[in-house]
Amino acid sequence: MASLRDIRNRINSVKSTQQVTRAMKMVAAAKLRRAQERIFQTRPYAFQLAEVISHLQGHVDPGTHPLFQPRAERQAALLVVVTADRGLAGAFNANIIKLTEQTIARDYAELEQAGRLYLYCVGRKGYDYFRRRNYQIVANRQGFFDRLTFDIAREISEDIVNGYLEGRWDEVRIVYNEFRNTIAQNRIVEPFLPIPPERFLTPIMERELGRRPQLRPGYRVDYIFEPSPQAILDALVPRYLNYQIWRILLESYAAEQGARMVAMDNATTNAEELLHQLRLKYNRARQDAITKEILEITSGAEALAKGGS
């Protein structure tokens, strides 16, 4: 049985851990508020830009733009895996890693065996995991989430697009966590290149689309394009791809802070329950020790009394 000193030391250790988890929860909550503001500001423009691109595709020949035309044969593919740089966020990173492995096994097993599946890792956790398993990693971007800027998103987008135009890969998909609310995320595998003819909708996009006023049957929204749909498409496609990466990075960062806040809140609660159990154990051990001392004193007194008589 543990001594009173051992139990006291463990109580102090759990208290220290609880202070750390409570502080981490508060930091994550503050970061989450800022991340939520940024993603809520970014989503409307990103969604509307995707809608305009989808509408433009119906007015031009997809074959006239290299980023719209599917390759005749898929010789190689790229998966962009967006995780966090740090842990202590529950299953946030593990869920994306698991989804990536499931996607590889389901859709890219032959390419992976042939050595023509490439990973673009954003975040240290995904990079560490896949590096140890000898996947072909073409890039590793980490250490920027706390100072995330649009320039970083543009650099990542340009890396991916340049590799696609050079023929290094024929298909690009992005695996990431979409921010749903403080306690939940949506795990997404989103097609990036070639730009799909049918607009890809995440659960959040579908929800936002469902909230819009619906046109009466027989009516549709149309646009007037100046100077021409093709010219506008050429100008908007790079902006669209950059903004998609920007939105995805913001989604992942907000989801990470939400997951960390929940994980640290659970850890703080668990520490409190553990402290309660340790205090009960300490009190029982203390009572046992006192009872033992009383019995020893009583026995000694009785022995002395009998010896004196």
- Order across the sheet with 136-141: list the strands: 136-141, 117-122, 77-82, 172-181, 184-193
How many Cβ atoms are within 10 Å of 59's Cβ, its own excluded?
14
How would you label 195-218 residue by residue, b for 16+ Cβ within 10 Å and e otherwise?
Answer: beeeeeebebbeeeeeeeeeeeee
The full length of the chain comes to 309
| Mean pLDDT score of the chain | 88
- Its pTM stands at 0.85
For the record, the structure tokens of 65 come out as 């733009």
Residue 193: phi and psi, rounded to 5, are -140, 140
Query: Per residue of the chain (309 residues), what is the pLDDT tens digit?
Result: 567 888 888 899 999 999 999 999 999 999 999 999 999 999 989 888 888 888 777 777 766 788 888 888 899 999 999 999 999 999 999 999 999 999 999 999 999 999 999 999 999 999 999 999 999 999 999 999 989 999 999 999 999 999 999 999 999 999 999 999 888 899 999 999 999 888 888 888 888 776 665 545 555 566 677 777 778 788 889 999 999 999 999 999 999 999 999 999 999 999 999 999 988 888 888 887 788 778 778 877 777 777 665
Contact 60, 54 (CB under 8 A): no
Sign of the Cα torsion 239, 240, 245, 248 reads positive
Hunting for tokens 């020893």 — which residue is that? 296
Which tens digit of pLDDT belongs to each residue from 130-174? 999 999 999 999 999 989 999 999 999 999 999 999 999 999 999
Give 243-298 as a DSSP string.
Answer: HHHHHHHHHHHHHHHHHHHHHHHHHHHHHHHHHHHHHHHHHHHHHHHHHHHHHHHH
Token look-up 């309660």 returns 276
Helix (H) / strand (E) containing 225 = none
